[in-house]
Structure 1
Amino acid sequence: MNKLLAGVFACVVASAAPAVATPAEAGSAAGDRENVLILMFDDMRFDTFSYRNGPVSTPNIDALAEESVRFDNAMTTTGLCSPSRAAMFTGRWGHRTGLDDNVGLYHSRLSELDLSEGGLIARAKEAGYFVGYVGKWHLGPQGVRLRGADYTAEIKEADWSRSMRQLTPYGIQKNIARYKAAANAPEGEKADYFNGEKVEYFQTLPGTYQDTSTYKKVKAGQDLLRKAAKEKRPFFGVISFDQPHPPYRVPEPYASMFDPETLALPENHLSKRVNKPMSQDEPFWPWHDVSHLRDEEWLKMRAYYYGAIAMIDRAVGEILETAKETSLYENLHIVFVGDQGSMLGEHGLYDKGPYAYDELMRMPLMIRDPNTQPKSVTRQVSMLDITPTLAEVMQLPEDGVQDGRSLRALMLEGDDADKGRKDTALYAYEWYNGGWFGIRALRTPEMKFVWNPGDARDELYDLRKDPIEVNNLFDKPEYREQLLAMARLMRAELERTDDPLLSRFDLQMKELLK
């Protein structure tokens, strides 16, 4: 979508007139094009659902999984909200779109994804779709509306002005200082100033499920589906939740659904970071300073996270039930995806930051195609692959180079398909709220190689022997051949995607690759 077309969309939005299908759009009947719904979640780990043998009973998500192609080794592009979402909606890396950092937050350089990047929303609109968007966007003010969405709701960024000041976490900083002061008080003087809850990590919300922002998004999503069912145009919709993003805040019964005393901390909980990049020791957001947290608080935080997943499962069930009631469901393609994972104490880390551990890098992804047999695909795939896949399904016009590759062959034939596609996934962490890192990570079923161009230490993990990524093997002579193979794979992917750091990679890896 070019900037002139974006300006046309802006004029349409400014008129406040309801969108009306043109004759060309009306002629594109639902039977000619596929209906698609994306269910998107924020900081949702891949390993929590009961269908993945996780600790939370998720019957509604499990039922969807039984009807879907499940990508069990799906990787985000960046463990950070804005760049991962920009990559998903465009199918392009941040060095092409200009969106390689969070927008609108403390120290960030960026305020929005440029309107020249129309992405799936504008492409669907141009192809004659009825387009709806509910919930978190995080790619700039009015961005969904300016790209032509017919229906929008519960988008908190929608009223931002373009001159908005960055969100600066003074309140969070103050709370963390209070937590540390209480933790460091003499034993006899320690007090629970927080009623057993540290609200920057976990909190019991007042009210019930019906009082939550999650429920508001469900109601708006149901309204979107009912409107879509009455349309003559095909339907493309996104319902994007800001759960289970930390801090983990849920009402009852979800706050006490899991007893912390019955839960276990992971094997790499607070593991010492030996031979790791220095940046992993830096608290880039106030709540990243977790020095005040006790093990029982980590367990409580985990219990609240699990409660958030249980609440999300309820939301998913309600949305899917409405899709069935409106008769959309039978022929509806559904993408279930998280923008990235999240850290719950593994390696002593919380939330997200400039690193590439599996708990952050991996994400849930499943695609329900009514015409495709459900199956599990174990090949490494990328968030970048979603846009080219949907563009193929929805017959969307091309909009430039795609770094992702369609998943259709894998969906139809499983792991044995697309033999020319290497079983790798690339990950990048260019910026974190204004700080440059330039991290690139490449994952295969056996190994992970992390290049840290801003540090003297790179990382290599043997995922077969060390799936929790504690032992960095980069400087181990016995792993030199594996390191060489991974570096060559990374270089090939950097070259394929026109990565601007390729020449720097060649310089730093000169001795290894000669």
Structure 2
Amino acid sequence: MTHKQPNILFLMADQMAASALPCYGHPLVKTPHLSRLAEEGVVFDSAYCNSPLCAPSRFTLMAGQLPSRIGGYDNAADFAADIPTYAHYLRDAGYTTALSGKMHFCGPDQLHGFEQRLTTDIYPADYGWFVDWENFDARPSYYHNMSSVTQAGPCVRSNQLDFDDEVTFRAKRFLYDYVRNGEQRPFCLTVSLTHPHDPYTIPQEYWDRYDHDAIDLPRVPYSRELMDPHSKRLRHVYQLDEETLNDAQIRKARHAYYGAISYVDDQIGAVLKTLEETGLADDTIIVFSGDHGDMLGERGLWYKMSWFEDSARVPMIVHAPGRFAPGRVRESVSTMDLLPTFAEFANDGIAPEYAAPLDGRSLLPHLTGSGGHDEVIGEYLGEGAIAPLLMIRRGRYKFVHSAPDPDQLFDLEADPLELDNLAQQPAYLDLCKQFRDEIASRWDYARLHDEVIASQRRRKLVSRALMQGRVTPWDHQPVFDASTQYMRNTIDLDDLERRARFPAASVE
């Protein structure tokens, strides 16, 4: 690494399954821009989120700490303002920090270290999406249902297109303003798109990039024999029974999802083009990842909320050819590792003094070929669960434990589709005991369960109370000073045009 602090461009896509990208082997999906980043960068073949649900995954990613340490239990959990994030650490290290797009912050603090937030969020910032384990069968209206699949297909416009078009525009504008204003600080710009998250709909242009008849159906279709207790609960939560879907509907949903991935790729391509045009590319480390995956009908499951591979595994690419040799990393890592990685990018490869204990570990040893860890720790505490669902991924094995359910142990080298649960096989009883003992040492399970329930009760009351009478929203309100934009009488016209033009006009 060089002594000059690099810029960091962090690109995120919501609900992006690693297995759906060509750089991870998918034969149909088209992503020329992401594929170029993968060819020139370091690809992590076994990267995971630490909680397969939007908000807790993002809180963990930003804080480098597990959900149980920061109270990030579900999609309406409060993300406390005093939890240091990568934006805080980078800003403290001299960076200008900006967010364009989704981060699903819940609570009054909607910045969490970002100096600028260029858009609002697509999701609400209050506690209204609380989870209630004590009343599991009382299904809230905001939970996923199967309309995303049954109504899948082309569209002209959607809520998510409105959002992501703005995300891309604001990200490009940030880069243009950065060079036009002569900013001397390095930047960390996070660009977080909400596609390819359901609903599964996309404009005809992207639908037409794929032959409908060529769209693959799930490799592992639904069967009763595959239904572990948590999977049954998930199907109940999103109202999926054995008669709900047919193959034609599943194919349409997957077709639209692939089209949405191509849309994401085009938006990323537009941001990367701006990075090149502004002359910033050579000094910028580009990181691409996601918050969790999407089951897309595999095993009869949809969306996320489980520890199966398509739900929990995410893409991760680090592109900086001048710093890190292109290659692939086989060891298991997680998005929780990004905070210490970003902090070391900013500090010439040296870890700063952290203000809070980190659960994440730097990826720099992997990037420089000097070793690195091979372990992911995960917690799922959200909708569809009735108790903590804990995961350890190490070496070739993945172990999943929830007190009400039978344990799950998969050998992902021999069984990548997770069809053979080894937990009850005599040859693996000792290994399962080792994992259970480790879980007992890592977590006070009963205490964690009680803490989740207590948080749910508090937020349920607060959410109900704050909707009575005058409602004061917490949603981020971007402010743009129109008096300083475009042509105004407070600045000389020639001076204004000179400042706005990039690159500067040559003087003959």
Match of 2:177 in 1: 227
1:292 to 1:46, Cα distance in 2 relative to 1, 3 A: same
Residues 72-106 of structure 1 show CA distances to partners (whole Å, capped at 9, x for unaligned) of 10111011011110110010011211112111xxx
Confirm whether residue 244 of structure 1 aligns to residue 188 of structure 2: no
- Residue 114 of structure 2: aligned partner: 149
Give 1:407 shift.
Answer: 1.0
- Partner AA of 1:151 in structure 2: Q
Q: Is the 1:141–1:162 contact (alpha carbons within 8 Å) kept by the matching residues of 2?
A: yes
Distance 2:125 2:326 in 1: 44
Deviation at 1:454, TM superposition (A): 2.7
Q: Which amino acid aligns with 1:34?
A: P
> SS of 1:311's equivalent?
helix
**1:296 equivalent in structure 2:** 248
* 1:165, distance to aligned residue in structure 2 (A): 7.7
- Report the 3-state secondary structure (helix = DSSP H, G, I; strand = E; otherwise coil) of the residue aligned with 1:236: strand
Per the alignment, residue 361 of structure 1 pairs with: 312
Q: CA deviation at 1:375?
A: 1.2
From 387, 398, 401, give the equivalent of 1:437: 387
C-alpha distance in 1, partners of 2:12/2:190?
7
Shift of 1:126: 2.6
The residue type equivalent to 2:99 in the other structure is Y
Maintained 8 Å contact 2:388/2:448: no
Matched-pair contact (CA < 8 Å) for 2:67–2:379 = no
Tell me, yes or no, if structure 1 residue 400 matches structure 2 residue 356.
yes
Which one of the candidate residues 394, 398, 402 is aligned to 1:452? 402
Q: What is the CA-CA distance between 1:222 and the residue it aligns to?
A: 0.3
> Residue type matched to 1:72 in 2?
D
Pair 1:120-2:72 in alignment: no
The counterpart of 1:204, out of the listed 145, 149, 154, is: 154
SS at match of 2:272: helix
Match of 2:504 in 1: none
What amino acid is aligned across from residue 73 of structure 2 in structure 1? D
Structure 1: tracts of 5 or more residues without a match: 1-29, 104-109, 180-197, 506-514
**Aligned-residue identity in percent:** 28
Q: Deviations over 1:234-288 (max 9, x none)?
A: 1111110111111112112112332332222233121334472255344464455
1:383 aligns with 2:335: yes
The separation in 2 between residues aligned to 1:203 and 1:476, in whole angstroms, is 44
How far the C-alpha of 1:51 sits from its partner, in A, is 2.1
Amino acid at match of 1:357: F
**Displacement, 1:470?**
2.0
Contact (CA 8 Å) 1:381, 1:425: kept in 2 or not?
Answer: yes
> For residues 285 and 8 of structure 2, what CA distance do their matches in structure 1 show?
5
C-alpha distance in 1 between matches for 2:155 and 2:120: 21
What is the CA–CA distance in structure 2 between the aligned matches of 1:348 and 1:199, rounded to whole Å?
Answer: 12
The corresponding residue for 1:471 is 420
Shift of 1:134: 0.5
User: What does residue 36 of structure 1 align with?
Assistant: 8
User: Which residue of structure 2 lines up, in the alignment, with residue 134 of structure 1?
Assistant: 100
Distance change in 2, residues 1:47/1:157 (3 Å): closer
Check if 1:77 corresponds to 2:56: no
Give the deviation of 1:217 after TM superposition: 1.2
Shift of 1:335: 1.2
SS of residue paired to 1:343: coil
Contact 2:51 2:67 in 1 (8 A): no
- Kept in 1, the 8 Å contact 2:217–2:251? The answer is yes
Instruction: Tell me which moved more, 46-55 or 268-277.
Output: 268-277
Whole-angstrom CA distance in 2 between matches of 1:114 and 1:171? 23
Letter in 1 for 2:375: T
Find the aligned partners of 1:296 and 1:431 in 2 and give their Cα distance: 30
Q: Distance in 1 between the 2:398 and 2:100 partners?
A: 36
Q: CA deviation at 1:397?
A: 5.1
CA distance in 2, matches of 1:289, 1:474: 27
Is the CA contact (8 Å cut-off) linking 2:11 and 2:286 kept in structure 1?
Answer: yes
Counterpart Cα distance in 1 of 2:188 and 2:448: 41
User: Cα distance, 1:208 vs. partner?
Assistant: 10
- 1:171 Cα shift? 8.2
Tell me the secondary structure at the aligned position of residue 195 of structure 2: coil
Contact 1:298 1:345 in 2 (8 A): yes
Q: Which residue does the alignment assign to 1:48?
A: 20
Q: Distance in 2 between matches of 1:288 and 1:70?
A: 35
Counting matched residue pairs gives 433
Report the CA distance between 1:305 and its aligned residue: 0.6
Alpha-carbon distance in structure 1 between the residues aligned to 2:431 and 2:398: 10
Structure 1 residues 119-152: Cα deviation after superposition (integer angstroms, max 9, x where no partner) = 112222233211111000112256343x343322
* Cα 1:148–1:73 shift into 2, 3 Å: closer
Which is further off, 357-366 or 44-53? 44-53
Deviation at 1:211, TM superposition (A): 6.1
The residue type paired with residue 359 of structure 1 is D
Counterpart in the other structure of 1:99: 72
* Alpha-carbon offset, residue 228 of structure 1: 2.7
Partner of 1:426: 377
Change in CA separation of 1:447 and 1:171 when aligned onto 2, cut-off 3 Å: closer
The match for 1:509 is none
Structure 2 gap ranges (5+)? 132-138, 450-508
Structure 1 residue 153: Cα displacement: 2.1
Secondary structure of the residue aligned to 2:220 is: coil
